Amino acid sequence: MDRHFLTELKKRRTFGIISHPDAGKTTLTEKLLMFGGAIQMAGAVKAKRAGRYATSDWMAIEKERGISVTTSVMKFNYSDCEINLLDTPGHQDFSEDTYRVLTAVDSALMVIDSAKGVEPQTEKLMEVCRMRNTPIMTFINKLDRDGMTPLDILGDIEDKLQIECAPLSWPIGMGKRFRGVYNLHQRQLHLFQPGGQTRHQEGIVITDLADPRLEELLGSQAEELREDVELLEGAANPFELDQYLKGSQTPVFFGSAINNFGVREMLDAFVEMAPGPMARPTTTRVVAPEEAQFSGFAFKIQANMDPAHRDRIAFVRICSGKFTRGMKVYQTRIGKQVTLANATIFMAQDRSHVDEAYPGDIIGIHNHGTISIGDTFYEKEPLSFTGIPNFAPDHFRRVRLKNPLKAKQLLKGLTQLAEEGAVQFFRPLSGNDYILGAVGILQFDVTMARLKAEYGVDADYEPVSFAAARWVTCEDKKQLALFEKEKQASLANDSQGNLTYLAPSLWRLENAMEEWPMIGFHKTRDLA
């Protein structure tokens, strides 16, 4: 393999941010992009935030698309690295896409609000990271406000997320008493200045905490820091790179994104420690990023501005080999060769004429509905990447078709929207209903609006009393038949005909799982 390829490969870092709404993801993203010189992009992120309380009206969503396409993949350069930050939509945009984006990254950054600790959405996203043992770096945000004590926050993370915390920096006070952080790794003190330093502030090197300069700089808080660090040396886990890379330990940084404090220290650690493109499993073998043959998979599909043309952009993560504009590749599911002539290469702001992309990079392929989520693209050897699943929906609605003559179009529309990952649907074994399933409730409105605009189907939806869905499997055919007979009323087929248990309540689900130990109840279903 040529040296240029390996150099490019080594530079790549592809990651996503996991957080609960309002923890500071957007603010942090802006600061990261600014360090990378992608100022214009930071503007787009801000614009998106301003419009995030968009109504559920499809046109408003469409208008935002222009921005959201550019912010889906944010690429910036920092310290010799080419960093791809994949957006994990939160707030109203929260959907299955948010989960699936995490299947396309090599590591994640977790942002926690210091006053709130671990919140539900972070827990959910963490579950997805755990599926592939994704390495996670943690940023505890908003230290300029009063919050939980640092030890309580670490305890909360360890309890709720079952991951060991290794603090690499330690805060000195918080809220009005926030004086800065002490970098435990480099033994440097960083003093807090509200408002945000635009340039790198050199840390003050204090190797021995008994140094009387500490009193000059921190006053009475010097002693607090000494006590904290002494306590940590006895109680905290020492940082171990391999534990981080295995996903069992998270290095922790403290700071304030809005004041641009602590962000740079974390970014420096990120480029040093976060993994580059990792090997990925397929149905036949594991593919290493260094392999010469191009391969990649589609993890997200976005409908384009012009709904009449059913124009879509498929976001493809490159897993191995080099992508060159116009190259011919095979698409596994349809077994056909396609020319990637009109692919968009997401690139850093300062490089406008890029015709190549490397493992870890994302390319956008324009198509008219011929690409499904999970599709693999390969150059020579037929491959099919695994680990790009459907996630069990948390919300359910029953579709009401206004014009019964449109039943065929409804099925066609829903099937295509399901292939795209926009929504899931289920058909109960008894009856002719369509039950929609989604991870974020805005997905229902988007589905109705798109059914109308793209398929001419006038439909709406009504509540239905399901609380959870699980894909069902069982090796023992007899047991399965018994289960089907008994649970007939709660069973359905998904859009691809896979048997699914739709539980009326979480309690009933637990009950069924206890009662039927031979049956597998799955929260995800692989699309490959």
Interface residues toward ligand GDP, by CB under 6 A: 19, 21-27, 49, 90, 141-142, 144-145, 256-259
Using the minimum distance from each CB to ligand GDP, give the nearer residue, 77 or 141. 141
Residue 495 token pair: 């859009």
Q: How far is 257 from 143, CA to CA, in rounded Å?
A: 9
Using the minimum distance from each CB to ligand GDP, give the nearer residue, 141 or 243. 141
Using the minimum distance from each CB to ligand GDP, give the nearer residue, 258 or 287. 258
Shortest distance in whole angstroms from residue 192 CB to ligand GDP: 11
Shortest distance in whole angstroms from residue 24 CB to ligand GDP: 4
Shortest distance in whole angstroms from residue 142 CB to ligand GDP: 4
Q: How far is 260 from 32, CA to CA, in rounded Å?
A: 9
**CB–CB of 263/192 below 8 Å?**
no
Shortest distance in whole angstroms from residue 111 CB to ligand GDP: 7
**CB–CB of 224/288 below 8 Å?**
no
Shortest distance in whole angstroms from residue 255 CB to ligand GDP: 7
Shortest distance in whole angstroms from residue 113 CB to ligand GDP: 8
Using the minimum distance from each CB to ligand GDP, give the nearer residue, 442 or 459. 442
Answer left, alpha or beta for residue 166, where phi above 0 means left and psi between -120 and 50 means alpha. beta
Q: How far is 261 from 149, CA to CA, in rounded Å?
A: 18
Q: How far is 468 from 523, CA to CA, in rounded Å?
A: 9
Using the minimum distance from each CB to ligand GDP, give the nearer residue, 21 or 155. 21
Shortest distance in whole angstroms from residue 229 CB to ligand GDP: 23
CA distances from 298 to 311, 317, 333, 370, 492 (A): 16, 6, 12, 12, 27
Residue 142 token pair: 């908003």
Using the minimum distance from each CB to ligand GDP, give the nearer residue, 156 or 433. 156
Using the minimum distance from each CB to ligand GDP, give the nearer residue, 90 or 421. 90
Among candidates 91, 61, 88, which has minimal Cα distance to 74?
A: 88
Shortest distance in whole angstroms from residue 510 CB to ligand GDP: 32
252-273: burial string, b at 16+ Cβ within 10 Å, e else: bbbbbbbbbbbbbbbbebbeeb
Segment (H or E) for 487: helix 477-487
Shortest distance in whole angstroms from residue 158 CB to ligand GDP: 22
| 459 contact partners, CB below 8 Å, separation of at least 6 | 399, 400, 401, 402, 406, 410, 448, 451, 452
**CB–CB of 309/302 below 8 Å?**
no
Shortest distance in whole angstroms from residue 57 CB to ligand GDP: 21
Q: How far is 294 from 326, CA to CA, in rounded Å?
A: 13
Shortest distance in whole angstroms from residue 21 CB to ligand GDP: 4
Using the minimum distance from each CB to ligand GDP, give the nearer residue, 13 or 142. 142
Shortest distance in whole angstroms from residue 35 CB to ligand GDP: 16
Q: Three-state secondary structure along 110-176?
A: EEEECCCECCHHHHHHHHHHHHCCCCEEEEEECCCCCCCCHHHHHHHHHHHHCCEEEECEEEECCHH
Residue 167 token pair: 């603090």
Using the minimum distance from each CB to ligand GDP, give the nearer residue, 71 or 447. 71
Q: How far is 155 from 162, CA to CA, in rounded Å?
A: 10
| 263 contact partners, CB below 8 Å, separation of at least 6 | 28, 31, 32, 35, 139, 255, 257
**If DSSP codes are grouped into helix, strand and coil, which group holds residue 51?**
coil
Using the minimum distance from each CB to ligand GDP, give the nearer residue, 261 or 501. 261
Query: Which backbone phi and psi does 415 adopt, to 5 degrees?
Result: -60, -45
Cα dihedral 478, 482, 485, 490 sign? negative
Q: How far is 245 from 273, CA to CA, in rounded Å?
A: 8
Shortest distance in whole angstroms from residue 90 CB to ligand GDP: 6
